[in-house]
Homo-oligomer: A and B are copies of this chain.
């Protein structure tokens, strides 16, 4: 049996040209893409991929959720497949790289192996997950969620879009449903290359990041209720102003987050509303949403306690009533140590300084990590901008990420 000692080189130009070609499927007005899940554009994107892999001699199957599994046989096809994947659906005004890069990097790996007449020990799988974005049907990461059993089937299939069309109906209408049972085929490992969707790699001048896991997340809904009052006749000391309590809370929470010893805590207040706003009326109620993240569950738990303590103190100081609801908690998800080590070896072999980093965003890989050894690679994206038509990744960075994917997938597929 041949073993691969010097990994073959991927074709950077071919990769880039495939990315640009895919972007023309469902082009958006300002140079991005619009391929909402299970629309004709999404189907056309998948078909383009299938046209490409057909010429490589691959076969494919779909499951009921429309997840698409492209198979490349190995030498020992009874062994579980080594998988690569991501998604082809986009935001309504999405970019050319989010998800697409992971899929087309996998395509480029398959093409490179074909070019070099390499047949791996284990079979390979290239997976396109359904409805990762969640823009048309909530929640996001639906296809991987239902395939891994982490998302309830009914929640997945019954989700409706703004027109009242269910995802079940949309999959059927697109002809994207198939016979492969959910959870099959068995996988040996799952690799996902993705743009970072943040600014760190670019700012630090790195071409690649090795993703060691996903941050823990806690979501909160807060309501603070005081006494609405005229701005004029009510002295400050007589007020019970929920807006002052809310801003005090945010500032004190920010202090905690900024003081994080690891510098890894993140606080986002994505919504802040005055109920019945009026320029010259002290608000009666303010509602806000908090998003707290950390790479360390212990620190996230400490921040959780801080939210409760600081919100209580802020409410008490202003004499307002607090309602604090914990809406969601997603613990830190670690990726597979062996796969991380394998990526590290491959990066070292290529002379690449690839920092270990945690993903702040959710990805299909998060669900996959609960059922199979999983890892991710990040490449930089310009200004950290994503979910936006202006999303951009350098051809060189896309190529480097794809090369590392190729190197590690080969090693994994060949191992004893």
| Interface set of A (CB-CB < 8 Å, partner B) | 196-200, 203, 215, 217, 219, 227, 229-238, 241, 243-244, 246-248, 250-251, 254, 257-258, 263-274, 277-283, 286, 289, 291, 293, 359-362, 383-384, 386-387
* Chain B contacts for A203, CB-based, 8 A: 238
Complex formed: what's the CA distance from A116 to B359 in Å?
86
Let me know if A233 and B265 touch, CB within 8 A: no
Let me know if B270 and A282 touch, CB within 8 A: yes
Complex formed: what's the CA distance from A258 to B384 in Å?
41
Q: A230-B361, A279-B219 are in contact. Are A267 and B236 (CB under 8 A)?
A: yes
Complex formed: what's the CA distance from A215 to B233 in Å?
9
Q: A247-B250, A273-B273 are in contact. Are A233 and B280 (CB under 8 A)?
A: no
* Chain B contacts for A279, CB-based, 8 A: 219, 270-271, 289, 291
Let me know if B199 and A238 touch, CB within 8 A: yes
Q: A231-B360, A384-B233 are in contact. Are A270 and B263 (CB under 8 A)?
A: no
Residue pairs across A and B with Cβ atoms less than 8 A apart, 5 shown, are: A217-B232, A232-B360, A268-B281, A279-B289, A280-B291
* Chain B contacts for A198, CB-based, 8 A: 229-230, 232-235, 238
Q: A238-B384, A281-B270 are in contact. Are A233 and B289 (CB under 8 A)?
A: no
Let me know if A247 and B251 touch, CB within 8 A: yes
A236's contact among B237, B257, B269, by CB below 8 Å, is which?
B257
Let me know if B230 and A387 touch, CB within 8 A: yes
* Chain B contacts for A231, CB-based, 8 A: 266, 268, 270, 291, 293, 360
* Chain B contacts for A232, CB-based, 8 A: 197-198, 215, 217, 266, 293, 359-362
Q: A230-B387, A258-B236, A360-B232 are in contact. Are A271 and B277 (CB under 8 A)?
A: yes
A247's contact among B219, B247, B270, B291, by CB below 8 Å, is which?
B247
Q: Which 6 A-B pairs rank lowest in CB-CB distance, beginning with the nearest?
A: A198-B233, A232-B360, A231-B268, A233-B360, A271-B277, A247-B247
* Chain B contacts for A258, CB-based, 8 A: 236
Complex formed: what's the CA distance from A38 to B248 in Å?
44
**Which residue on B lies nearest to A198, using beta carbons?**
B233
Give 5 new A-B contacts, CB below 8 A, not counting A268-B282, A272-B286: A198-B233, A203-B238, A233-B360, A233-B361, A234-B266
